[in-house]
Structure 1
Amino acid sequence: MNLKSRLGYAVSIIGISLSGSAVADLYVYGHSSLNSSNSLNITTSSGDFFVPITDSGWWTSDFGHDASNKNYFAGHGSTATTGNHNNYFTFDLSGISGTITSASFNLFTYTVAGSSVDYQLFDVTSPLSEVHATGTNAAVYDDLMTGVSYGSFIYNSSDSNEFRSILLNADGISALNSAIGGEFGIGGTITGGIEGPSPPQIPEPETYAMWLAGLGLLGFLRYRRKNPNINSPVH
């Protein structure tokens, strides 16, 4: 890439970063595999159990799902792939004993875009092998945002970079008891909220340096056009 192209690229990146906040977004986003404390905290008649996430990901209305991706993303955002996103989490309940009496979902969220973002948890009736699989599947996408509600949490920007606990309701507890000894899935979707700007993406320091150099070069070239008789530097 020549200097002119690189400078153009740098200026474009800065321009996108500065203008991106004007686009209205509504989502919650995180990365499950980087936060080992993302888990179900379950209390049974036999004791307390910590059940980590075994798999996670998201499905979109346009592009389906990539099994290699472990991020969770629910809602819509200008910096993400197009379409609405629903997400899922799965858990291994083979180590649970006794009758489950209460459970909460402990989840770290990196970014919340918007305010009063209503994040709802739903049952998953699709075969979990299909939920995990790469591809497009409208039935799975729809399943993650419909059915029996297990609980909800209202997110705001102050919940970014924080753990939050989502208490599972009676339907969620009943479903967990039915799944003891096997795999359990939860779907997630955004059902409401007030759209807001996505938090700005910060360019790398070298991009800023290139941008500033580009602005300086553009200023110099403008000066040269106004003063055509000025001599160029001798090399």
Structure 2
Amino acid sequence: MKIGFVGGTGHIGKGLALRWGKGSNHEIFIGSRNESRGREAAEEYSRLLDEAGYEHEISGGDNRFAVENSDVVLVCIPYKSVFETMESLSSVFDDQVLISPVVPMFKSEGQFGCDDCCAALDIDNATPEGVRVVSAFHTVPAKPLYEFDNPLECDVIVCGENDAKMVVFDLIDDIDGMRGLDGGDLSVSRLTEAVTPLLLNVSINNDISHPMIKFISP
């Protein structure tokens, strides 16, 4: 599958690009506002996979390059940049599945919180009609993703319309140890986005490094 990353030079973009980039199942396109930065990031990720002995297909450029070459697009940018970025890319979106791990998060007086909005719904409203938005990966910390040979024993809640969610479930299955769970339609994303600042507060207040979520049935 061809997977593009809008803002693929950041933490979550790097981790997922490395996980999906190892091997020959997927072709990865790293995007950035700055074309040269996108290329540099793709070269860095390629070097890391080369050193680990993996085949890969990773290339970089600007965000338009990443979108127009991909079947699935991840939007890995801060919430404050969502509307401007989506507007600048509206002409190159087609009928891709767009995955949002975006969280409308803030920090105040040493604690993290979430704005009273939903990033996934805002992205859905800001993209052309044929684009199918799915929210996922809000509760996956970046650093464990970088360790791309280590299984990730965690769950990922996925929200959106059913056909698009199936595409995302397949991608989740490609990451060792990760399990995708159906959270419902896109409106439920408001709840899953709010879990990110909760995990960060738990991490800070209890000295727990990189907490993740796993649902257990007794």
Q: Same fold (TM over 0.5)?
A: no
| TM-score normalised per structure 2 | 0.30
| TM-score normalised per structure 1 | 0.29
Which has more helix, going by share of residues?
A: 2
Max Rg structure: 1
Ranked by relative contact order (alpha carbons within 8 Å, sequence separation 6 or more), the top structure is 1
Which has more strand, going by share of residues?
A: 1
